[in-house]
Amino acid sequence: MQVGKASVRFEKPPVIEAAASIAGKKEGEGPLGKMIDLVVEDAMFGTDNWEQAESTLQKKTALMAMEKGGLQKKDIRYLFAGDLLGQLIATSFGLMDLEVPLFGLYGACSTMGESLSLGAMTVQAGYAERVMAVASSHFATAEKQFRFPLAYGNQRPFSATWTVTGCGAVVLSAEGKKGMARVAGITTGRIVDMGATDSMNMGAAMAPSAYHTIRQNFEDMDVNETYYDKIITGDLGEIGRKILLDFMKKDGYDLEDVHMDCGMEIFDKESQDTHAGGSGCGCAAVTLCSMILPKIQDGTWKRVLFVPTGALLSTVSFNEGQSIPGIAHGVMLEHID
């Protein structure tokens, strides 16, 4: 099952049995609004602070995924979940009441790819019949932690992206189950640092890691861009997408028509003023559950390389003047005939 330097092709591909997405008002006003399972007008989700709001968002999305799959908490062996906050407090406080064994993950905005990869390996290896992968972000919690208090009203450069308030959750089960798509394989990304230092330009920091993971997938699986109907990155935005396409073109790969970026799909550039696009763990997770998986399920796309991207900075590393490494995890999703 091991292929090349960093990939796995599953002999018995795990199946995505069910998926759910919940997002905020701004996301609901975007192009994917009608595809998202639940759009919540109140960004506080009925709680007293932003962090509790994100925890509530995670819990509601996980429960909705179970409900859509006709499942109960006892049917889920493990949770693989994460968010952007320090010590994963959105995840730990949000999923605590489910009383399901938890692997808390931090891959920044690549967390949905990481959780899918680890969940698929766990199911394939026979360590669990059924697991759940979850990732969330919230505009206000991310701004509060990484940038400025909302009340400060700072001006954002055009290279900045808008953190998605949203969560996506998928249930992974063993081969043979009916589902939305199968996980045919994975390519695990490595940390790539090309010296980017601008925390308001995440696309430039993450594009090199997306390039490396896509190239590694091509090399390990002995394929090229024509093998996939779509190659979908997590949240490179306009600037990161241009960098990725340029890197790939120099290596002889033309991704112009096959590439899509979740950060550019979830918001409308003309009407929503999100500058370079969307970002956050919830960006790739919501887009996956609301738009990508349904299109694979109905056969619109037969093969997709899903590549969530993450910038591995913290307030400590950034304020100490360190550069911003990136990481990207590739997940090969296929239509179930």
* CATH, domain range 181-334: 3.40.47.40
Among the residue ranges 59-68, 76-85, 225-234, 316-325, the one predicted with the least confidence is: 316-325
Q: Is the pLDDT of residue 153 over 70?
A: no
Q: Is the pLDDT of residue 178 over 90?
A: no
Q: Is the pLDDT of residue 152 over 60?
A: no
Sequence spans of domains, the chain: 14-173, 181-334
pLDDT at position 171:
98
Q: b or e along 298-328 (b: 16 or more beta carbons within 10 Å of the residue's beta carbon)?
A: eeebebbbbbbbbbbbeeeebeeeeebbbbb
Mean pLDDT of 178-197: 93
Among the residue ranges 73-77, 88-92, 312-316, the one predicted with the least confidence is: 312-316
Considering only the top CATH level, what class is 14-173?
alpha beta
Name the residue with higher pLDDT: 318 or 167. Answer: 167
pTM of the model: 0.95
Mean pLDDT of 248-259: 97
Q: Do domains 14-173 and 181-334 have the same CATH topology?
A: yes
pLDDT at position 95:
97
Confidence class of residue 151 from pLDDT cuts 50, 70 and 90?
low
Cβ-Cβ contacts under 8 Å for 292 (sequence gap 6 or more): 230, 232, 301, 304, 306, 333
